[in-house]
Amino acid sequence: MQPSSISFDRAASFYDDTRGLPAEVAQQVGNCAAALIGAGGRVLEIGVGTGRIAKPLLASGLRVTGVDLSLGMMSRLLEPLPAGLPAPSLAQADATRIPLRDGAVDAVVAVHVFHLIPNWQAALAEARRVLSPRGIILMGHNATGEDTPYRRVRKQWETFVAARGYAMDHPAANKVDYVKQAIMADGMRRDEVMAATWATRHTVQRVIADIENRIWSQTWQVPEELFPPTVAEVRAWAQAEYGSIDHEFEVVNTFVWERFAP
């Protein structure tokens, strides 16, 4: 039996605090998407969640329909909807069974979502089905540099987890590349547009707290009993590595749109 796609119900209360984009960055991301899709375009966002991406798309004049497994996440999207912003059409649905007619939208948007869908091939087929003949697929991602305490602390914690016999799965590592290859094999060409760059400040202690509080979806399958010893180990490692877990550092973030067009 094919595993189910991952629901983010458990993250609804803290998702925006941990993944939210600064207002000016969100505006840049939305405006860039609108320029790629075209004014007033019809958009389907797969994994619409709390509206981290949908709200900037709406603000830029796009007409948005969103699907998500999590009602909790979508309720967060609607609660703080800014005055004057049109409400998107929302449906609780799996990306492998999208409740739209063939050719209904001008663009399908997916941000950090395909790696959460075990049957991504079916989800991609559905995306192509609801896309108009000249429509585009926009895959977005925001990323940080690899050689920062932000990454190093998390990787070191994973090393401690592995040493206790649990190998963490990183479904995003290859799956997204497979998705992109499949899209291009189906006759679409790819280009890449940098939508925004911004800097954020963090502390090592905050990174450790995010691990301990299981903020990131990669931590959700790790057995509960492994957290106390491995968090203690990574805290001791970080103290030795940085001199203090209150060590503060800057991270340069980027948001990139990858456009796939006929």
* pLDDT tens-digit map of 231-244: 999 999 999 999 99
pLDDT number for residue 217 = 79
Q: Please name every residue paired with 121 in a beta bridge, in sequence order, or none if there are none.
A: none
In the block, tokens 């966002």 appear at 45
CB 65 within 8 A of CB 43: yes
Average pLDDT score over the chain: 90
Q: Where are the beta strands (DSSP E) in 61-168?
A: 63-68, 89-92, 105-111, 131-144
pLDDT number for residue 8 = 63
CB 9 within 8 A of CB 72: yes
In the chain, what's the furthest Cα-to-Cα distance?
58
- Examine the pLDDT at 6 and tell me if it is beyond 90: no
* pLDDT tens-digit map of 180-225: 999 999 999 999 999 999 999 999 999 999 999 998 878 888 999 9
DSSP 3-48: PPPPP-GGGTTTHHHHHPPPHHHHHHHHHHHHHHH-TT-EEEEET-
* pLDDT tens-digit map of 49-79: 989 999 999 999 999 999 999 998 898 888 8
> Domain-by-domain residue ranges, the chain?
9-261
Handedness of CA 16, 17, 19, 25 (dihedral sign): positive
Environment class of 174 (CB within 10 Å of its CB; exposed 0-12, middle 13-18, buried 19+): exposed
pLDDT number for residue 219 = 87
3-state SS assignment for residue 112: coil
Conformational region of residue 235, where left means phi above 0, alpha means psi within -120 to 50, and beta covers everything else: alpha
Q: Please name every residue paired with 140 in a beta bridge, in sequence order, or none if there are none.
A: 111, 257
Dihedrals φ, ψ of 107, to 5°? -155, 140
pLDDT number for residue 1 = 41
* pLDDT tens-digit map of 116-153: 898 999 999 999 999 999 999 999 998 887 788 989 99
Which pairs from 131-135 meet CB under 8 Å and 24+ separation? 131/103, 131/105, 131/106, 131/107, 132/103, 132/104, 132/105, 132/106, 133/103, 133/262, 134/106, 134/262, 135/103, 135/105, 135/106, 135/107, 135/108, 135/262
Q: Which fold has domain 9-261?
A: Rossmann fold (3.40.50)
Dihedrals φ, ψ of 213, to 5°? -90, 5
What pTM does this model have? 0.86
